[in-house]
């Protein structure tokens, strides 16, 4: 491959990385909010959120990306392809994250809450200082696993024109007629991105353990 091909790979890797990371940050946060709201057991809202979670988890990313990119202009809303990609990835991962957080809520020991209330601790303080750090510790491996799945599923956004790592790899292969080298390079880059997530998991576990 020539120098221009390497530049293209770098640009594709950057697009994959920043779009995925923004979607992950939004998905984890929105998923937590959804889980909290669903734990309140509000009948109508809980049913609506349940439908959303089931729908988003069952819909392939390619279909979701196409639906968002093609349907919004019908309502007079023009979305940039990158924004459409972020929205599709966020809607997908937020649904999975919501279930991860909800499972952490459901499996949390109620005895700790009762002990905290007996000591006069406010619920928000209890959630911030006791419950949430433990939930993060328990959920972190599953959350990181979901983040990895999102990154590995991110090539689906190429269908709406986003020039991500996989799309760039296909372009280089089509021009050079040497598919093996760019594909191997893309595989290594994906491994590095996911490896950084694993490192972040280790750091976060140590940080949360320290805060406890």
Domain tally for the chain?
1
User: How does pLDDT run across 63-85, given as a tens digit for each residue?
Assistant: 999 999 999 888 888 888 999 99
Q: Which residue has the tokens 């140590």?
A: 206
User: How does pLDDT run across 2-12, given as a tens digit for each residue?
Assistant: 788 889 999 99
Residue 212: pLDDT band with limits 50, 70, 90 = low
Residue 208: pLDDT band with limits 50, 70, 90 = low
Residue 18, pLDDT above cutoff 90: yes
User: Which backbone phi and psi does 40 adopt, to 5 degrees?
Assistant: -75, -15
104: domain CATH number is 1.10.3720.10
What percentage of the chain reaches a pLDDT higher than 90? Answer: 47
Residue 109: pLDDT band with limits 50, 70, 90 = confident
Domain with 87, as residue range(s), is 3-211
């Amino acid at each position: 491959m020539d120098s221009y091909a390497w530049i293209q790979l770098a640009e594709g890797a950057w697009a994959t990385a920043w779009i995925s990371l923004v979607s992950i940050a939004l998905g984890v946060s929105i998923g937590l909010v959804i889980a909290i709201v669903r734990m309140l057991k509000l009948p109508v809202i809980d049913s609506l959120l349940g439908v959303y979670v089931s729908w988003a988890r069952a819909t392939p990313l390619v279909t979701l990306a196409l639906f968002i990119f093609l349907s919004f202009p019908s309502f007079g809303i023009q979305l940039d392809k990158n924004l459409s990609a972020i929205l599709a990835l966020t809607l997908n991962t937020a649904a999975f994250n919501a279930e991860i957080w909800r499972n952490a809520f459901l499996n949390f020991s109620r005895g700790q809450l009762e002990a905290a209330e007996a000591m006069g601790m406010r619920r928000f303080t209890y959630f911030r200082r006791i419950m949430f750090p433990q939930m993060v510790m328990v959920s972190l491996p599953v959350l990181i696993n979901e983040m990895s799945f999102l990154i590995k599923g991110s090539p689906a956004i190429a269908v709406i024109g986003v020039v991500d790592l996989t799309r760039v790899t296909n372009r280089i292969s089509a021009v050079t007629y040497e598919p093996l080298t760019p594909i191997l390079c893309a595989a290594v880059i994906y491994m590095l991105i996911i490896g950084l997530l694993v490192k972040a998991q280790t750091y976060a576990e140590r940080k949360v353990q320290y805060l406890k």
